Amino acid sequence: MKQLYLIFLFISLTFCSSNKNDFYEVSEQSQEWYPVTKVVDGDTFWVDNGTSKGIKIRLTGIDAPESQKRWKREEGYYGKESKTYLTKLLKDKKVRLETDIDSLDRYGRTLSYVYLEDDTFVNAVLVKEGYAVIMTVPPNVRYSDLFYNLQVQARENNLGLWKR
């Protein structure tokens, strides 16, 4: 019985330490900083990850108006302003990316919650200042309540695209 207990204990400790190492590897990955190379519009931009192409990032949980007419989409109200604001926010900056459940959208863009080196939560700031609206697409719902509350505040304060 004592041998069985020791074997169980050994297996448990091995399993726990394996999970712990996996957790730390994931945490380290999320601490990687990427220089922003180009802003496409108010919710999409490119970062340099060391490859020739880079990574196209789509901000998770929010939607900004289109900044120009593309394909079948018309330029949206406050679209140019949203792109300008995001450009100023990200210019010459590095960002940290955080993913939710789904990490890619149907166009192959990386879905991310984005943070600046000073801990500014980019997705949240865009909604708070009225440059984007919430767009909750399950299963990526981690910050949906926060974004909703920020959007209510922006609308009540007539900020950005909520101006009357």
For the annotated catalytic residues, the residue numbers are 58, 66, 109
Measure the CA–CA gap between 136 and 148, rounded to whole angstroms: 9
Q: How far apart are CA 62 and CA 93, in angstroms?
A: 21
CA gap 133, 131 in Å, rounded: 7
Instruction: Report helix, strand or coil for 28.
Output: helix
Distances (CA, A) of 46 to 34, 41, 53, 76, 102: 9, 10, 9, 21, 19
